[in-house]
Structure 1
């Protein structure tokens, strides 16, 4: 199910226990929060000093002047790439869009750039990232008549890195981009092992964390360090200083938001009243931060984190603790959306039901009215009701020991990953730029969201499969595929990885076709998939957050960049 699901080898398996009212329940041990009250106890010095704010404004204007100074297309592309990788693009959205639009519509190509693999691949990536259509045929000049990439480009390590990053923005039917990814991956693997290569460390990082698939703030942290330590990158002290100060300034904002979030979490007493569930409020915040990192979305981010934390509790209740009869009662009750129905529920469900209605009927409804989008509340409410109904189907599968077909499984469990419930909250909280047409669009599960759900679900399942088998969890896509086609686990995983690749191609394709809605609306699906990739890179880092996950989150939230 969503935002979750698997136990680590070091965790106790789930077991049957007798509750206070004599009900036999499945329970399991979850690691306690990796953060405790850290963000409540470290609030004394997180306001930004006026001198720093003044310096940030000065550096921002100095950086803005670089757009004017850059004359050649290649200089402009390199500047945009640096600004995006260093996490500064939100300051210059208009400038970046204007330049990329000009480059997209210009027939002019600087003569010295025509054969420059680095620049051509960079242009391709930046345009597609921004949603501009650009043909993959621009890479034909680097291939032989048989379609293979020329041996000569293997000596261009900088160009190979650029082509590798560009190849992650491939669409269906683009065989040259499929070949580019395979070819450059092989080259980067060799580069990463070559200690004499100036790009060895960069190649090693890119193989694990390609730019397009990586959580924005995590990527920013890496590239600031890369620019600081690499003389070939650190040729613009203004941008580097700006990036460091900006990173630390946003980090303080995030810490203030987490202080507010932690206070809400503690005041709710949910972790004490629902001890069977995961306490993952900081990890939920990272999920929200991955969708919207910009400072102007502070309120949206905090609200979204609260909803994701609640969905995690709901998930654990359906996944393990509740009996089938109780879960059906809860599903029916939340569908009626009436606080007067609360007395019908068991005590532990009353706590969760009350918390859900309190935040929806309070904060969320108020935000809808403040943003003059009252209709948005019904979509948000539908999102959480739909989430519970999907969990109910999965709970029935488990209780009936039913293994669905892979198609039946994905129809339910790809959706239960939670993107619709998250998007309905995200959209209503970003202000009055949204319309009812946007909510109708997301309600219809467009390809951009459907593909993001498929990629997220399968990435989750592939990483989580081993430990899910050891526990009493609903079957996952791997078991469904094995059962339906009579193949081994290895064959099933290989096939599902292909489906992940296909889903990511569909994300790119639909993103480029996005039409008239603001770009921020279309970013939530791909960003959701990026957070999934962050948490489920090698293991379930959301559930088992005391491992590498804590270190990665600390880089984003608590460890400032040295100036």
Structure 2
């Protein structure tokens, strides 16, 4: 899409850049939905029966440790682990406290050690990377014979994604496993080979849980050793969740249609469905239904603000809007340009609704933090717009400080807690102080965004980007910047992994929200594509699988 300029007849002939964003892929597809209560009820009853059976499998005292760990792994990959959170945590705590000597036990092969390591770390247990020492020779290299163990290599590869800073053995393990898996015999059984190909593109730890569940259900169905109960449970549960998510998407789509963005904000992206995808990636479980609706509405209005700053407003208009948001008063509407008035009014009305709803629960304090996060976001958008419009290139450190806010993930995470009944004032306060876990997620999202949007922004004539700032300051080439950014992204993942360790004073359910936002970013921007601005290639297949196409049972 080529950038163009045009005269806006509503604004006294001001010539504005027009980003010419592609229209929504979905139209009014989700404005109406049919909920089959009979099918949902039948599925729920079947799930409850199978749930009791799976719970017995998990808690059976005579089960071997490896069988238990394999069962937990399968349950989690199939996307049904939220039904058994307490049972899984109790079991893992007991197993971790066994203090197994992996280095001494010949029964612990590469697959087993890597599986235990990954699952324990996924749940915050600080298991040492030294458990892999026995797989290296006297020179510190991984034994060559391990290349003949593809199952163990894949297990090792997935385990290394949970490494933290200073774990050189895991850096070596990742390089060894990746190279070995890439050269794996193509005649291997197709089911396993599909897992390898997928993992090399999307490691499990960094993947969106619902996307990964859909993928693994298909893989597991081909497994000759599959448990039919688990498979049917997973399919029914996936479809039942899809029905719930479609109802929520219908609710927010109706709200969006009433807002009428196509006529009121024709310059902006229409990405309501993609915003819901982000909300679902943040938390998919049934108990977060209200949270997903509130978060989607917040993200959608935030996206309109972003495009107003990024692709439409003049400096004078944007200054006025920033002041209005900071003051947060209905009387500010009269000072705004006509095209901004509907947006400002929609923002005030939405947060007023949030406050009224949460006041009934004694939780209206959350709205204050959400408003403050939005004010901060708009202030940073305003700074960014001035750099772009004036053609000023700030030092990269200054750019990044501001860009960590404009990537929106602080605003997103605070907004995600609004509809979460377990979120306390202390949790909002903790986020407002920008803890290390959040900063890591912000850095990860910002740099992924910069890598994926660079060419799109150049097409629109936007030259003040993170990559350009870095190139100008450090006098390096674009490939060198890309390499450095990817190193910083990897470092951010290590920080998030480190912050997820137990014991931790931080609220674990908030940590989950932060890391899930990072996983959603990975899914939407996979392959260096901006799946939000141009969702056709990356996000469209995910949205079809998650919200349109049920699994055949």
Match among 328, 331, 337 for residue 328 of structure 2? 337
Per the TM alignment, residue 435 of structure 1 is displaced from its structure 2 partner at its CA by 2.2
Match among 138, 155, 160 for residue 162 of structure 1? 155
Residues 5 and 15, structure 2, Cα contact 8 Å, conserved in 1: no
Aligned residue number for residue 246 of structure 2: 255
1:175 aligns with 2:168: yes
Per the TM alignment, residue 270 of structure 1 is displaced from its structure 2 partner at its CA by 2.2
Alignment of 1:71-82 (within 5 A): 71-82=63-74
Alignment of 1:190-339 (within 5 A): 190-191=183-184, 193-194=186-187, 199-232=192-225, 234=226, 236-339=227-330
1:456 aligns with 2:445: yes
Q: Could you say if the C-alpha distance between residues 206 and 359 of structure 1 is closer, same or farther in structure 2, counting changes exceeding 3 Å?
A: same
Alignment of 1:425-504 (within 5 A): 425-431=415-421, 433-473=422-462, 475-504=464-493
Residues 410 and 442, structure 2, Cα contact 8 Å, conserved in 1: no
Aligned length: 549
Per the TM alignment, residue 109 of structure 1 is displaced from its structure 2 partner at its CA by 5.7
1:127 aligns with 2:120: yes
Structure 1, 366-375 or 400-409: larger mean CA deviation: 366-375
Residues 294 and 418, structure 2, Cα contact 8 Å, conserved in 1: no
Q: Could you say if the C-alpha distance between residues 192 and 57 of structure 1 is closer, same or farther in structure 2, counting changes exceeding 3 Å?
A: farther
Per the TM alignment, residue 75 of structure 1 is displaced from its structure 2 partner at its CA by 1.3
Deviations along 1:419-461, whole A, 9 cap, x unmatched? 1211222112110x22222111100111101011111111111
1:515 aligns with 2:499: no
Aligned residue number for residue 117 of structure 1: 110
Separation in 1, partners of 2:550, 2:448: 31
TM-score (norm: length of structure 1)? 0.94
What's the secondary structure of 1:40's corresponding residue?
coil
What's the secondary structure of 2:17's corresponding residue?
strand
User: For structure 2, which runs of at least 5 residues remain unmatched after alignment?
Assistant: none
What's the secondary structure of 1:227's corresponding residue?
helix
Residues 405 and 442, structure 2, Cα contact 8 Å, conserved in 1: yes
Deviations along 1:185-204, whole A, 9 cap, x unmatched? 11121227455676221110
Residues 441 and 515, structure 2, Cα contact 8 Å, conserved in 1: yes
Q: Could you say if the C-alpha distance between residues 109 and 370 of structure 1 is closer, same or farther in structure 2, counting changes exceeding 3 Å?
A: farther
Alignment of 1:351-366 (within 5 A): 351-362=342-353, 364-366=354-356
Aligned residue number for residue 552 of structure 2: 562
Structure 1, 414-423 or 157-166: larger mean CA deviation: 414-423
What's the secondary structure of 1:36's corresponding residue?
coil
Per the TM alignment, residue 361 of structure 1 is displaced from its structure 2 partner at its CA by 1.1
Does 1 or 2 have the higher relative contact order (CA < 8 Å, sep 6+)?
Answer: 1
Aligned residue number for residue 545 of structure 1: 535
Separation in 2, partners of 1:63, 1:213: 26
What's the secondary structure of 2:268's corresponding residue?
coil
Aligned residue number for residue 7 of structure 2: 17
Residues 25 and 322, structure 1, Cα contact 8 Å, conserved in 2: yes
Separation in 1, partners of 2:38, 2:452: 39
Residues 46 and 255, structure 1, Cα contact 8 Å, conserved in 2: no
Alignment of 1:19-38 (within 5 A): 19-20=9-10, 21-38=12-29
Q: Could you say if the C-alpha distance between residues 394 and 113 of structure 1 is closer, same or farther in structure 2, counting changes exceeding 3 Å?
A: farther
Structure 1, 71-80 or 327-336: larger mean CA deviation: 71-80
Aligned residue number for residue 400 of structure 1: 390
TM-score (norm: length of structure 2)? 0.96
Deviations along 1:326-377, whole A, 9 cap, x unmatched? 0010000110000111010011111110111111011x11243133223222
Per the TM alignment, residue 44 of structure 1 is displaced from its structure 2 partner at its CA by 5.2
Q: Could you say if the C-alpha distance between residues 359 and 122 of structure 1 is closer, same or farther in structure 2, counting changes exceeding 3 Å?
A: same
What's the secondary structure of 1:43's corresponding residue?
coil
Residues 59 and 91, structure 2, Cα contact 8 Å, conserved in 1: no
Structure 1, 69-78 or 170-179: larger mean CA deviation: 69-78
Aligned residue number for residue 8 of structure 1: none
Separation in 2, partners of 1:113, 1:71: 20
Structure 1, 421-430 or 91-100: larger mean CA deviation: 421-430
Aligned residue number for residue 4 of structure 1: none
Aligned residue number for residue 3 of structure 1: none
Separation in 2, partners of 1:513, 1:65: 27
Separation in 1, partners of 2:194, 2:209: 20
What's the secondary structure of 1:38's corresponding residue?
coil
Residues 73 and 109, structure 1, Cα contact 8 Å, conserved in 2: no
Structure 1, 65-74 or 102-111: larger mean CA deviation: 102-111
